[in-house]
Structure formats: structure tokens, C-alpha cells
């Protein structure tokens, strides 16, 4: 149903792997949240079955017919690629005169979120876009902190103003296609193909003297003991008998004291810029160190926390 007056706002919902009911719930929440006359485009990429199921649900629910100021259009693209969907919307589907909300097909837009983004964009004449932040999920808190510290648009829900959209069109800007894949995406054509039988893969370690060297786990004890006394030009440490038996005293800030020597293991749970945005990774490292201490027959195995600056 086309609106009786020109839409003041546009929105695009991009979907591929969601269920039709999930996508319908997203549309329902979006309609309730956006109060202005809105043209909502649903772009389903690489999943014609989803588009057909959604169309059936829309007809049975008569979604958006509660509002005479809103219109809904459903598009389906053969290529299963989110970047392609965004490119198609920008250059072919966007009506050309209204700011546009970009929404992933599984997002439940909070009732006040669109208005808050519009207010933020209007408050700063120099701003080109405003991004929503996730409010639920395992990593929502970490993602919010990262977005506030580093800026940028979050792919789930953001608003682009008319100047930004027109500039992207004028520059013929397009996201690189092929970064997003679905089960329906055709296999790429490679110049050569290497096949690996995973049953032949064995656990291995790096070292012992150089990190680029690889030692099979089953050979680790023998190679390590040989490396302790091997000459340095043979990738060894050339330790004397006295050095082999040497011990070192260690203690930590919690009052633990002990001795360590060659062959003892120290595990450190290290966080860095590669995983601080994902608390589950940090907790996993800590649990690994804790379990290692619990399974050790002596107190020579020690877990420590450290923070490496990026």
C-alpha cells in the first residue's frame, strides 16, 4: 500500500537467514517505533523461500495496513550477500529524499530508538550518521563500550542522513561484495585447490627455541630434553649439568612462594586488543588457567593475570 503523502523517513530491513516469523516481529517493532510517514523496504538476499514465506505472513497479518502513512515493499535478490543488498538499496531502491534507517532482520528496535537517532543526527549539523547500540545479548555491554570508545556504525541498526546517502550515491560508493556468505552463495573459482585430510592432523607446539619451529606433541618431551643440552647453533640452549638442575625462587602478590626450574609450566591468561571486546574469550582464558592449577600435582604450576597494552 503506497502512502497518501510522501514518506518523511525511509527504512531498509536486510534479511537472509532469519525465519519469516522473526522478520515479521522485526517489522512489527519497527512500525511501532517509527512515528513519521515511512517507506519500509525489506531486502531478502539469497533466500527466495524466506521472501515467499514473509509475503504470505504479511498478507495474512495485513501488517502496516493499520497505518495509512506507511508503505512496505518486499525485494528479493538472488545473490546471498549483505554488502550487495546494501549496495542495491543505496543505488536503486532508496527513494532519494529521506533519511534511512538500516536494520538487520533479527533486530528488535526499541520504541524510542528511531527518535533518539533522529534527534542525535539533527543536533549535530556536521554528523552524517547515528548508530544504535545493542541492548541485549552476551556481548552487548562490551560492544557498547567499544562503540563509544572507537566510534563507527554498528551493522545492526543505524541511521544515515540524506547528505550522506546522496554523497555515497554521487561517489558511486559500493561495499565490496563477497565478504558475506550464505549456504546459497556459489563456491568461488580458485586457481588451485589444496585438500587436507583432517584425520592426518596431529597436535603440535611451537619451539622450543624458535616460535616458527613446529614440534609434534607426541615428540615434545624428547625434543625439549634434547634442546636443553644441544648447541645453540643446533637450535638448543647448551645448558651445563649445573644449569639443568638450577632452580629459581618466585612469589606473587598473594603471598605464594615456590621454586621453578627447567620444564615447569607457567600459564598466563593474557588479554589484549584482539579479545577485550569479547568477555567470553577472557573468561575462557581464566578458566583454562584455573583448571590447570587444579590439575597440577604441585604448586609449581601458577596462573597469573596480565594486561598487555595494544
The two beta strands, 38-45 and 9-15, are: parallel
pLDDT tens digits, one per residue of 175-201:
888 766 656 667 777 888 899 999 999
Contact between residue 90 and residue 60 where contact means Cβ atoms under 8 Å apart: no
CATH of domain 9-170: 3.90.550.10
pLDDT value for 151: 64
CA distance 159 to 103: 9
pLDDT value for 195: 92
Cell numbers found for residue 301: 604450576
Identify the segments of the chain with pLDDT beneath 70. Answer: 1-7, 62-69, 137-138, 150-155, 179-185, 267-278, 296-310
Q: Positive or negative, the Cα torsion across 113, 115, 117, 120?
A: negative
- At residue 155's C-alpha, the angle toward residues 111 and 172, to 5°, is 120
CA distance 284 to 37: 48
Sequence ranges of the domains in the chain: 9-170, 208-245, 247-310
- All residues at 6 or more sequence positions from 253 whose CB lies less than 8 Å from its CB, including other chains: none
Q: What is the DSSP letter of 97?
A: S
CA distance 92 to 88: 5
Q: What is the DSSP letter of 4?
A: S
For the chain, what is the total number of helices (H) and then of strands (E)? 9, 12
pTM for the full predicted model: 0.56
Amino acid at each position: 500500500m503506497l502512502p497518501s503523502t510522501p514518506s518523511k523517513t525511509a527504512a531498509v530491513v536486510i534479511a537472509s537467514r532469519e525465519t519469516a516469523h522473526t522478520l515479521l516481529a522485526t517489522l512489527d517493532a519497527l512500525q511501532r517505533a517509527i512515528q513519521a510517514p515511512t517507506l519500509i523496504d525489506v531486502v531478502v538476499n539469497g533466500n527466495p523461500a524466506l521472501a515467499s514465506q514473509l509475503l504470505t505472513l504479511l498478507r495474512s497479518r495485513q501488517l502496516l495496513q493499520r497505518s495509512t502513512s506507511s508503505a512496505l515493499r518486499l525485494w528479493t535478490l538472488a545473490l546471498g550477500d549483505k554488502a550487495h543488498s546494501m549496495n542495491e538499496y543505496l543505488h536503486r531502491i532508496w527513494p532519494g529524499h529521506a533519511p534511512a534507517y538500516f536494520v538487520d532482520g533479527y533486530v528488535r528496535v526499541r520504541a524510542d530508538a528511531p527518535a533518539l537517532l533522529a534527534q542525535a543526527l539533527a543536533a549535530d549539523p556536521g554528523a552524517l550518521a547515528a548508530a544504535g547500540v545493542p541492548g541485549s545479548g552476551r556481548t552487548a555491554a562490551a560492544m557498547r563500550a567499544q562503540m563509544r570508545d572507537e566510534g563507527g556504525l554498528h551493522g545492526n541498526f543505524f541511521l544515515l542522513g540524506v547528505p550522506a546517502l546522496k554523497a555515497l550515491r554521487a561517489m558511486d560508493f559500493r561495499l565490496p561484495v563477497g565478504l558475506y556468505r550464505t549456504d546459497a552463495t556459489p563456491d568461488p573459482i580458485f586457481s588451485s585447490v589444496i585438500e587436507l585430510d583432517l584425520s592426518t592432523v596431529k597436535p603440535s607446539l611451537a619451539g622450543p627455541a624458535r616460535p616458527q619451529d613446529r614440534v609434534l606433541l607426541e615428540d615434545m618431551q624428547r625434543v625439549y630434553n634434547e634442546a636443553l643440552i644441544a648447541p645453540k647453533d643446533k637450535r638448543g640452549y647448551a645448558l651445563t649439568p649445573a644449569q639443568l638442575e638450577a632452580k629459581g625462587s618466585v612469589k606473587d602478590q598473594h603471598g605464594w612462594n615456590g621454586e621453578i626450574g627447567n620444564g615447569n609450566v607457567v600459564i598466563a591468561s593474557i588479554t589484549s586488543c584482539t579479545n577485550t571486546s569479547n568477555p567470553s574469550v577472557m573468561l575462557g582464558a581464566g578458566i583454562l588457567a584455573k583448571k590447570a592449577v587444579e590439575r597440577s600435582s604441585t604448586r609449581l604450576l601458577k596462573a597469573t593475570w596480565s594486561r598487555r597494552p595494544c
